[in-house]
Amino acid sequence: MADPLIAAALAAREHAHAPFSKFKVGAAVEDGTGHIHTGCNIENATYGLTLCAERVAIFKAISEGAKGFTRVAVAADTDLPTPPCGACRQILWEFCGDIEIVLVNLHGKSETLRMGELFPRPFDGSFIR
C-alpha cells in the first residue's frame, strides 16, 4: 500500500517554484497526531533567499503549533534519491531529532535513513549555556 507521507511529498513537489534551477523538490513531515505538513522549494531572483522544501514544511508545521514529529519524506527527480542539504539537516535535527527520513525519487525508488546517520555530532541547543 502506498505510503501517504511519500504521496504528500510527491504532490507538494508539484508546487515547487524553481524557475532558476528547474530542480523541484517536495517534502512532507508527519507530526505527533499523524497530521502531514508539506513544503516545496521556493526560489528567489537573488538566489540566496531560496527556501528548501524541507524547511518550508517544518516551518509551516511549527507555525501551526505542530510538534512531536515522527517522519519526514523528501521527493526529487534524481536517480539516487536526494538527501537534504546541510542547512536543512540542522533545522530537521533541531526540530525533529533522530527521526526517520525517507528519500524518494519519481520512479518509486526510496531509501529510509535516520537523521542521526545523516547528521552525526550536531551542534544544537545543548551546547549553549
Active-site option among 54, 100, 111, 117? 54
User: Minimal distance in Å, beta carbon 85 to ligand THU?
Assistant: 5
User: What kind and span of H or E run contains 74?
Assistant: strand 71-76
21 is a site residue for ligand THU (CB under 6 A): yes
18 is a site residue for ligand THU (CB under 6 A): yes
Sheet holding 71-76, edge to edge: 36-40, 25-30, 71-76, 100-104, 110-114
Could you write out the DSSP letters of every residue in 1-50? ---HHHHHHHHHHTT-B-TTT---EEEEEE-TTS-EEEEE-B--TTSTT-
Site for ligand THU in 37-66 (CB under 6 A): 41, 43, 50, 52-54
Q: Provide the CA 110 distance to its chain's centre, in angstroms.
A: 14
User: Minimal distance in Å, beta carbon 104 to ligand THU?
Assistant: 12
118 is a site residue for ligand THU (CB under 6 A): no
Single-letter residue type at 58: I
Known catalytic residue: 64? no
Region from 57-65, 78-86, 89-97, 111-119 binding ligand THU, contact rule CB under 6 A: 78-86
Closest CA to 47 of 77, 83, 21, 12: 21
User: Minimal distance in Å, beta carbon 52 to ligand THU?
Assistant: 3
Chain residues in the site for ligand THU (CB under 6 A): 18, 21, 23, 25, 41, 43, 50, 52-54, 74, 82, 84-85, 88
Q: Which residues are catalytic?
A: 54
